[in-house]
Amino acid sequence: MTQNEQPARTRFAPSPTGYVHIGSMRTVIFNWLWAKHTGGRFLLRIEDTDRNRYVEGAEEQLKESIRRMGIEWDEGPDVGGPFAPYKQSERLALYHTYAEELLGKGHFYKCWCTPERLKQVNEEKQARKEPPGYDRRCRKLSAEERAAQEASGKPHVIRMAVPLDGETVVNDLIRGPIRFQNALQNDPVMIKSDGFPTYGMAAIVDDHEMQITHVMRADEWIATSPLHVLLYQCFGWEQPVWVHLPNVLGPDGKKLSKRHGDTSITDYLDKGYLPEALLNFLALIGWGYDETTEIMTRDELIERFTLDRISPSGGVLNIEKLNKFNGIYIRQLTPAELMERLLPYLAEAGLVSAEPTAAERARVEELVPLIHERLVVLSEAPELLRLFFETPTTYDQALLVPKKLDAVTTAQALTTATAALRDAPEWEVATIEARLRALTEELGLKVGDLFMAIRVATTGSKVSPPLFETLHALGRDETLARLERATASLGSVSAGP
């Protein structure tokens, strides 16, 4: 924190309506980094006032997603705090108290218009080619008409009386002053007929009550931000610093959506992108420390993160760059650390027990160096390591026999290789390599042909970890057994019908 930076209070305030979008996680990261950078506090608040969009289990899912990223909130659900509760459905009385205050001051008014009438108003406006919106009928009611409506007991909403002229200025930290003509604004609903507040009402009341200093959110909220500013002015409250973050874009430069592929942070975590790699990568979408520095630890990001380096333009979600980052972070893990991360994927694939034994753990740690340098995401590990847990039982002759050889020649080469490896004085990588390279000269075969035949014979595939290291990890007995089995399969082919 610099001398001029005061401890910030930031928040992430999602609605529990589904998975956490990767753009939303970037918002979490920016809010969390700024709070930590300034020595402040990061809050999680659940905005569950829209009961029509509420999804059972979504709240737990979003909390789990944030925690899986290694981010903890200082105040909020599960941890409490001085401004609890942090779930809006448990704060309804507070919103009604503030709504009554602004009703008394004339900034709010009750509206008894039915959904049918509102639909008719918009249809008539559309016919006249006018912008949709409420015609403010109930705002114009006389005291007597208002009293009659009150006495009727009809359902009503509470709306804000937006000024009919002048302008409202939103001072955004990234974009500067953004000016809106009040005459173009609608009178928004603040309290719905079911008694629940709308986002605009609840969020502003809670941000004030919880002493939020910086509101960092997606730039899609810019359009409604003048109404939020007006609400602050109605109450006479000091506004927070407004920071509308640039969009996360797909490769085509358009806002990231499902048509671009995975959009849930959970999808990326489940595939085996490391939380620390995702944190680093997402922090750089729309922000940068300098022109060259990319790989930064969690502590370095906290130390270096400042709001003045946030870009006003969107940043592209570049999967190739994410893969590069993930590979770098995987390489930074020790074999023991990588083994721990891989075990859940191997267990899901049935290669180790759900609760791995000590022997299974030791075996995986022994195999880790074979794939450590080439692993891009953790979910690739089961297929790369499967050959060490499952013995090939059948062979694709098209793979086993090199294109320029026949089955008989390949079988003879494998038989000779089996004998050479059986007689090796010790089972070490260097010895295995020396024996097989000498064999290519002895047999007059190309290195690629012999080695590919041995690779397919011992792994069942043309793609595997480095050959000599793979044979060493399989062990002498298993290697010889696989070579003999593959040779036998070629013998049956060469014998013909």
Model confidence over 340-373: pLDDT tens digits? 999 999 999 999 999 999 999 999 999 999 999 9
Report whether pLDDT(67) > 70.
Answer: yes
Which residue in 258, 324, 403, 404 is the catalytic one?
A: 258
Kindly state the tokens that stand for 57.
Answer: 């289990």
Nearest to 45 by CA among 263, 205, 225, 170: 205
Residue 476 confidence class, pLDDT cut points 50, 70, 90: very high
Judge whether 159 and 134 are in contact, CB under 8 Å.
Answer: yes
Share of the chain above pLDDT 90, in %: 87
Share of the chain above pLDDT 70, in %: 97
Q: Tens digit of pLDDT for each residue in 199-231?
A: 999 999 999 999 999 999 999 999 999 999 999
Angstrom distance (rounded) from CA 497 to CA 492: 9
Helices 358-371 and 467-474: crossing angle, nearest 10°? Answer: 170
Extended strands (E) in 305-352? 315-316
What is the H or E stretch that residue 108 is in?
strand 108-111
- What 3-state DSSP class applies to 82? coil
Query: 9-88+248-319, superfamily in CATH?
Result: HUPs (3.40.50.620)
For the stretch 295-331, what's the b/e string if a residue is b when 16 or more beta carbons lie within 10 angstroms of its beta carbon?
A: ebebeebbebbebeebeeebbbbbeeebebbbbebbe
Q: Is the peptide bond before 85 cis (omega within 30 degrees of 0)?
A: yes
How far does CA 43 lie from the centroid of its chain?
Answer: 19
User: Worst-scoring range by mean pLDDT, 16-30, 92-106, 329-343?
Assistant: 16-30
pLDDT at residue number 495: 38
Range 450-464 average pLDDT: 94
If one counts every other C-beta atom within 10 angstroms of the C-beta of residue 336, the result is 11
- Domain positions in the chain are 9-88+248-319, 91-245, 334-386, 397-495
Give catalytic status of residue 462 as yes or no. Answer: no
Nearest to 350 by CA among 391, 389, 377: 389
The answer to whether domain 91-245 has CATH 3.40.50.620 is yes
Cα dihedral 407→413→416→422 (10° resolution): -90
Range 449-461 average pLDDT: 95
Q: Tens digit of pLDDT for each residue in 402-438?
A: 998 999 999 999 999 999 999 999 999 999 999 999 9
pLDDT at residue number 2: 46
If you write DSSP's letter for every residue of 8-69 in order, what string do you get? PEEEE---SSSS-BHHHHHHHHHHHHHHHHTT-EEEE-B----TTT--TTHHHHHHHHHHHT
Residue 3 confidence class, pLDDT cut points 50, 70, 90: very low
Report whether pLDDT(261) > 70.
Answer: no
pLDDT at residue number 259: 65
What is the H or E stretch that residue 232 is in?
helix 225-235
Report whether pLDDT(492) > 70.
Answer: no
CATH code for 334-386? 1.10.8.70
Fold designation for 397-495: Arc Repressor Mutant, subunit A (1.10.10)
Higher pLDDT, 464 or 72: 72
Comparing 334-386 with 397-495, is the CATH topology the same? Answer: no
Report whether pLDDT(166) > 90.
Answer: yes
Judge whether 168 and 226 are in contact, CB under 8 Å.
Answer: yes
Angstrom distance (rounded) from CA 325 to CA 306: 22
Residue 252 confidence class, pLDDT cut points 50, 70, 90: confident
278 φ, ψ (degrees, to nearest 5): -65, -40
pLDDT at residue number 262: 66
- pLDDT, mean over the chain: 94
Helices 275-283 and 22-37: crossing angle, nearest 10°? Answer: 80
Report whether pLDDT(385) > 60.
Answer: yes
Global pTM? 0.91
Q: Tens digit of pLDDT for each residue in 107-144?
A: 999 999 999 999 999 999 999 988 899 999 999 999 99
